[in-house]
Amino acid sequence: AIKYIGNRVAKGMTEEYRIKRAEDVIDRYLLPHMGIESDKRYDKAIYLAEMTEMLLQVIEGQREPHDKDHYTNKRLRVSGDFMEDLCRVAFSSLTRDMSYQLERSLSRGKELSIKQAVRSDVLTENIKHAIATGNWVGGRAGVSQLLDRVSYMATLSHLRRVVSPLTRSQPHFEARDLHPTQFGKICPNETPEGPNCGLVKNLALMCKISEGFEDEEDQKLVNIIRDMDVEMID
């Protein structure tokens, strides 16, 4: 399997490089939320096996498919996630430019100062352009907007807006409808009219976005539940 992946991602390279590149792809790009260390490969294999088992059960009619509109199966991407993507791309551009400046200086036999090698405007302009135009990495548009200051309520509404990535030209009846799991999380009343109806929503007043759990915190929660004499059901 490693050789097969290596032939796909590093075709024409040496066998040693293909194997190394294949392992890098598995560690960094396959289920990265489970970790990017090499010791996480077994956990990823178990995860893929469970996914395959569920898929076969759905095909055989042994279980119902997951509800994609259930908020357990959803994740909100907040401003920090978008800034992370933007900074990653900006730093990649900076490192490529540094490499180019160093190679050009070396080929010409000239001395290169740190200021010439590390051009800060490459990093700054990438970030400033995205924030100024709203055109983000990944082809996203309208990510950064002028904050609505007409009233205090309008400002709160704008800050707590949730925009679905689904296209507006399609019906998407289920996505536009109210789902029972939105109770307490999404305002059932506030949504614009027209093609954005149901696809642009707002967080409920008392809703707070959780940041997830680390493995240690997850285990603490399990221990608390066990101390409450709650029995686990297989």
- pLDDT tens column, 109-142: 888 888 888 888 899 999 999 999 988 888 888 8
Please spell the DSSP secondary structure of 99-168, one letter per residue: HHHHHHHHHHT----HHHHS-HHHHHHHHHHHHHH---GGG--S-S-PPP-SSHHHHHHHHTEEE--S-T
Residue 124's pLDDT is 92
Nearest Cα to 116, choosing from 134, 135, 130, 102?
102
Residue 234 has pLDDT above 70, yes or no: no
* 176 shares its domain with 230: yes
Do 45 and 101 belong together in one domain? no
Range of the domain at 169: 158-234
Query: Which of 1-15, 138-152, 195-209, 210-224 is least confident?
Result: 210-224
Indicate whether 203 pLDDT > 90.
yes
Task: Supply the pLDDT for residue 23.
Answer: 92
More reliable by pLDDT, 127 or 219: 127
Rounded to an integer, the average pLDDT of 171-189 is 92
Distance separating alpha carbons of residues 148 and 154, to the nearest angstrom: 6
Residue 41 lies in a domain: yes
Q: Kindly indicate the confidence band of residue 233, based on its pLDDT and cuts at 50, 70 and 90.
A: low
Are 165 and 219 contained in the same domain?
Answer: yes
Residues 11 and 51 placed together within one structural domain of the fold = yes
152 assigned to some structural domain = no
Q: How many C-alpha atoms does 139 have within 13 Å on its Cβ side? A: 1
Give the C-alpha separation, 29 to 150, whole Å.
Answer: 44
Q: 163 and 223: one domain? A: yes
Q: How many domains does the chain have?
A: 3
Whether the per-residue pLDDT at 218 is higher than 80: the answer is no
> For residues 29 and 19, what is the distance between their CA atoms, to the nearest angstrom?
15
Predicted model pTM: 0.69
What is the per-residue pLDDT for 198? Answer: 92
**How far out from the chain centre does Cα 55 lie?**
23
More confident residue, 118 or 57: 57
> What element of type H or E holds 202?
strand 200-202
123 and 178, same domain (yes or no): no
Q: Does 83 lie in the same domain as 126? A: yes
For all residues of the chain together, what is the average pLDDT? 89
pLDDT given for residue 201 in this prediction: 94
Question: 145-164 pLDDT, tens per residue?
Answer: 899 999 999 999 999 999 99
